[in-house]
Amino acid sequence: MAIMVNQVGYEAAVSHKKAVADRPGSYVLKNAAGEILWQGQAGEAVSDPLCGETLYPLDFGSVQAPGKYHLESAAGEKSDTFTIDRDVLAGVHNAMIKALYFQRCGCALEEKYAGPYVHAACHTGDSEVYGEPGHMLMAQGGWHDAGDYGRYITPAAVTIGQLLYAYWLYTMAFQEQLNIPESGNGLPDVLNECRYELEWMLKMQREDGGVYHKLTAWSHADFIMPQEDKDLFYAYAVSSLATADFCACMALAARVYRGSSTAGKEEKEFSLRLEAAARRAWKWLAENPEPLLFTNPQGSNTGEYGDTTDADERLWAAAEMMALAAWLKEDTREYREELCRILDTGLAVTDFGWTDVAGFAALAVLTDIDAAKAAGEETVQRLQTAVLEEADRLAALGEHNAFGMAMGAGDFCWGSNMVVTNRGILLALACKVLEIQEDGTAGRVARYEEVMQAQIDYLLGKNITGYSFVTGFGEHAYRHPHLRTTAADGIDDPMAGWVSGGPNGKPGDELAIRMIPAGTPPMKCYLDREECYSLNEMTIYWNSSAVFVTAYLRQKAWDREREQGEQA
């Protein structure tokens, strides 16, 4: 018997409170004292293609009283315990940001900030520019990207982009201090944490503006603590992929740090450094118009983060440079022309992953009045249409599975939880577009928000595996991420806040291939094993994507609560 719930909980003032059961019949919702606050029948059966089961929805949206609850069947089977309360996502939202602190490279993690997850400073030496023996680069710092100890520009830019846009659009969701070394300095901690990564990224730019693609050893380290990894690190070749993503990220960050309501002299000076770096990168891109892609040298096995085109990266760079220039009241023609040139190739503009960053160009234009004016009405309408059409397609997917999710069976790939949350970003952008358009959009916004909530419900336990895919949150949170520090630190539980890669219908590691039978429905293709890097690795950009969606939901819940108070 299974009753699948969001194991963290449901926002009190939101009517979308749903669970899924694997049997029909009557169900009750009980609080911690055993009192029944809701009872009802399961909904109509749904033959679910994501998990290969016939499932039954439960809707208890009328319950708003704060408390701890569980669902129970007539036969006495119980769900995991969850909370109904206001701002119920605050804890997991903040933990997913704080998790990035535990990936800091080049510094010691101290007990007062890291609790038991302490370690000495790691990777403090200089790195060698690959292919140039003796040419050393001082590029300490930044975040370890994933379960390994490498640092990579393209996923770093995506992570920073998602976090900065989330902060810029939903500022109220980033007010709490996170207990990191910079806490209390007057700047929101999400900007403090992002700066740690941005400072490293700045070190990866050459004087001519080009940006090294990545900084890693020749091969992945064994499962040892980071300070024990003494291999020489290399700065690998400059790529147009890294340079364009870097350009976009720096231009965006220059706006955010200088435009933040808490910005002081130091932040303004930092913003000027970011702006200068963006301009150098843009100059390099203009002087090198042909794609300069990246592949690993033969024999090296660290993350490649390769791509087949740099068009989407250049599009994002053009959009952010145009937005920055418009913000500074400068001439935007050069950037607008490049933006339109790439858009005219038919490039899709609705994705936010490291492979395809074109969705960030839409974010840049459609969330900023000055950028929209600079882009022109025709371009704005083109982007709005693309975003809304994709949002409608995603919302329609939710009508064909029991979880209400914007996922098809083929979407459960390596890092499927990034697909889950990136689609939440697209739906949030669609809501922004509708907010601008205003006329007759309330029902459509509600539909998109319901799907966004379903995506987060899934991530936090309302799925066929029974796991919450965020460490430390939920009665059955996964516990064994593919992460070298948690495997080597001798501590039973991992640090809280890491998003798992999630189910993968085509598993790519030896253990998963051996243990998951061929033909298993995609949502069931998951193991909570640290060996399963194709299912259970974590990355900085899976966290940042989830942070964006929880920020949206937190802010909207507050808006709804305020509106209800005003009406009362």
Measured CA to CA, the distance from residue 307 to residue 245 in angstroms comes to 13
C-alpha 90: how far from chain center: 16
pLDDT on residue 1: 53
CA angle 95, 98, 104 (to 5 degrees): 145
Identify the helix (H) or strand (E) that includes residue 199. helix 189-203
Burial label, 206 (beta-carbon count in 10 A; 0-12, 13-18, 19+): middle
DSSP strand pairing (82-85 vs 9-11): parallel
pLDDT on residue 324: 98
- Would you say how long the chain is, in residues? 568
Q: Classify 217 as helix, strand or coil.
A: strand
C-alpha distances in Å from residue 553, one per residue of 194, 220, 448, 560: 21, 37, 12, 10
Whose structure tokens read 């760079």? Answer: 317
DSSP strand pairing (67-73 vs 26-31): antiparallel
pTM attached to this predicted model = 0.98
Determine the average pLDDT of the residues in 541-546: 98
Determine the average pLDDT of the residues in 486-510: 97
pLDDT on residue 568: 60
Percentage of residues of the chain with pLDDT beyond 70: 99
Identify the helix (H) or strand (E) that includes residue 433. helix 416-437
Measured CA to CA, the distance from residue 525 to residue 533 in angstroms comes to 13
Whose structure tokens read 């253990």? Answer: 511
Amino acid at 202: L
Q: How many helices (H) and strands (E) does the chain have?
A: 17, 14
Closest CA to 140 of 105, 103, 102, 101: 105
Determine the average pLDDT of the residues in 6-15: 94
**pLDDT level of residue 563 (50, 70, 90 thresholds):** confident
Active centre residues (catalytic)? 148, 482, 528, 537
For 168-185, what is each residue's pLDDT tens digit?
999 999 999 999 999 999
Amino acid at 302: T
Closest CA to 88 of 6, 31, 3: 6
Measured CA to CA, the distance from residue 92 to residue 114 in angstroms comes to 17
Measured CA to CA, the distance from residue 466 to residue 49 in angstroms comes to 17
pLDDT on residue 436: 80
